[in-house]
């Protein structure tokens, strides 16, 4: 076993909106792109189809609704996550979680309840109907009952 501590890649800030360390926001945040919060936010955060990363300096006192959440800092509020939440080492989350998948690393602090939801199964497509059996034109006549009386052969 290696003595080297595990290292996690730094959050990828490219292609995401960023709330920096010195920024404080009170109110409602709605975004249509990924968001990284490394400052302070109080209110609500909604990113229905995107990822929210709470950076190591982030302090969020808000309910959060997102597709995916990664917590490296502090969150005080309920979270509703469509796909997955990760609470990393040294992170703190106090609030209730509703999610499909959850990862809580050793050293993270979590206080609240967890509701694991299962995604709604997609309805199975209807089974194909068997194709009608088609026979040769003469076979249909042979198989059809005859209206003529049956004749017995005499010996």
Give percent of the chain above pLDDT 90.
Answer: 65
Q: Is residue 100 domain-resident?
A: yes
- Rounded distance between C-alpha atoms, residue 45 and residue 31, angstroms: 8
Q: Is residue 133 domain-resident?
A: no
Token digits of residue 57: 């300096």
State the pTM of this model: 0.68
What pLDDT is attached to residue 123? Answer: 72
Q: What is the mean pLDDT of residues 39-55?
A: 96
Cβ–Cβ contacts within 10 Å for residue 81, how many? 22
What is the CA angle 77-90-25, rounded to 5? 40
Q: Which residue would you say has higher pLDDT here, 45 or 126?
A: 45
- Rounded distance between C-alpha atoms, residue 48 and residue 25, angstroms: 20
Q: Is residue 109 domain-resident?
A: yes
Helix, coil or strand: residue 70: strand
Widest CA span in the chain: 114
C-alpha 102 chain-centroid distance: 11
Place of tokens 């088609």: 134
Range(s) of the domain holding residue 55: 17-113
What pLDDT is attached to residue 75? Answer: 98
- Rounded distance between C-alpha atoms, residue 62 and residue 71, angstroms: 13
Q: Which residue would you say has higher pLDDT here, 122 or 1?
A: 122
Q: Is residue 63 domain-resident?
A: yes
Q: Is residue 76 domain-resident?
A: yes
Q: Is residue 138 domain-resident?
A: no
List CB contacts of 53: < 8 A, sequence separation 6 or more. Answer: 11, 16, 34, 35, 36, 37, 69, 70, 72
> For all residues of the chain together, what is the average pLDDT?
83
Q: How many domains does the chain have?
A: 1
Q: Is residue 46 domain-resident?
A: yes
Q: Is residue 21 domain-resident?
A: yes
């Amino acid at each position: 076993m290696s003595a080297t501590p595990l290292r996690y890649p730094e959050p990828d800030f490219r292609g995401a909106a960023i709330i920096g360390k010195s920024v404080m926001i009170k109110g409602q945040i709605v975004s249509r792109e990924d968001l990284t919060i490394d400052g302070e936010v109080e209110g609500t955060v909604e990113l229905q189809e995107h990822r929210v990363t709470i950076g190591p300096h982030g302090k969020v006192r808000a309910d959060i609704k997102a597709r995916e959440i990664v917590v490296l800092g502090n969150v005080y509020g309920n979270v509703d996550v469509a796909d997955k939440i990760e609470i990393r080492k040294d992170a703190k989350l106090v609030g209730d979680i509703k999610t499909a998948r959850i990862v809580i690393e050793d050293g993270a602090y979590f206080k609240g309840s967890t509701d694991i939801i299962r995604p709604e199964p997609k309805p199975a497509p209807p089974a194909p109907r068997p194709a009608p059996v088609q026979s040769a034109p003469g076979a249909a006549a042979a198989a059809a009952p005859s209206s003529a009386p049956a004749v017995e052969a005499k010996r």
